[in-house]
A = this chain, B = another copy of it.
Amino acid sequence: MIIMKTDATEEQIAQVITEIKKYGLRADISKGAFRTVIGIIGDETEVDFARLALLPGVKEAMRIETPYKLISREYSKLIEGENEHRVIKVGNIEIGGDNPVFIAGPCAVESKEQLLRIAEGVKKAGAHILRGGIFKPRSSVHSFQGLGAGGQEKAEEALDWLREAGRKFELPVITEIRGESQVDLVAEYTDILQIGARNMYDQDLLTKVAKKGKPVLFKRHFGAGIEEFLSFAEYMVAEGNKDIILCERGIIPIGKGKNYTRYTLDLAAIPAIQKETYLPILADPSHATGRRDLILNMSCAAIAAGASGLMIEVHYNPAEALVDGQQMITPDELKDVIDACQKISKLIVPMRNKK
């Protein structure tokens, strides 16, 4: 990491970047309220930091040996000060600000009618962003894989419904990208790109998605430790895209016998991650619990833990959904969730900001 003097010139900054490139490495340039900081992307083993420190305009140059640095508070506090919370704008919606954001919609898009009806429901319930799965990651090749499995044309049709539903109800839209060949297509239609838990370790996909420059919702793998999760988020920020929205969606349950929940929602990861990074973090109680009767309590708990919002699966008739019916709630139930969460958020956010 190279910290420039407050009065460093553009030429001096350019010279540092040139030196970094000579090592075959890339540079991340952050111009903040306080100063410009240049992060090195890649393996710093060969870099001669003592030499870099002597370049004109350089205040300090040091090796940082952590798997994530561009997203770390150590880095951001040099640039933006102690208490940065990155606020990511999607249309009029702010993710990471003082109001919790609710992303809602069906697990899988099934038809235009289904989507429009759910979009209307979640809008009325107070949600801000519409979700709908088109490329579904599934454990079994023999299960329904989403409309996207039907080929390019069907995929575009479903994406078009999603965009249309979003426009009609003034909701930015998000859908999951499961493979590299879907990146260009999805980026054309949606406002946020989602990388699901199962693809968290897929660094080639991450890089390709990040390069699109759109906000990315990035879910923690169910077997990943927090350090790993953040290290893979770093892959995207290393492409120059800092609009990464983290999402905790539950980890593998431990213990013999019946578990009663599908995954273990690791809510302490939320404040723990907020101590490490300025990126906003949401929670997904639907996938984590797999139980509609736990959504209300766990939504409230996630907001109380400090989450900047929630992703919740909604269907007007969960029983007839093609995927994950047992974890979806109705638009009416969503309204109760959002109301309760907003009250809790009003208690919690002032405590966050006071710190």
Contact = CB atoms under 8 A, between A and B. Distances in A.
B255 A138 contact: no
A211 B185 CA distance: 22
A304 B225 contact: no
A348 B300 contact: yes
Contacts of A179: 180, 202-205, 208
Interface stretch (A5-13, A91-99, A115-123, A216-224): A216-224
Interface in A230-256: 231-232, 234-235, 238, 251-256
B225 A254 contact: yes
A298 interface: yes
Contact of A225 (B238, B257, B296, B297): B257
B272 A260 contact: yes
A319 interface: no
Contacts of A221: 223
A50 interface: no
B289 A264 contact: no
A224 B289 contact: no
A10 to B, nearest CB: 26
A291 B269 CA distance: 12
Contacts of A198: 201-202
Contacts of A54: none
Given A202-B198, A222-B223, A260-B276, A139 B228 contact: yes
A340 B344 contact: no
Interface stretch (A106-114, A140-148, A163-171, A324-332): A140-148
Contacts of A255: 223-228, 251-252
A92 B67 CA distance: 43
A254 B223 contact: yes
Interface of A: 24, 40-44, 67-69, 137-144, 150, 178-182, 198-199, 201-205, 208, 221-228, 231-232, 234-235, 238, 251-261, 264-273, 275-276, 288-289, 291, 293-294, 296-298, 300-306, 340, 343-344, 347-348, 351
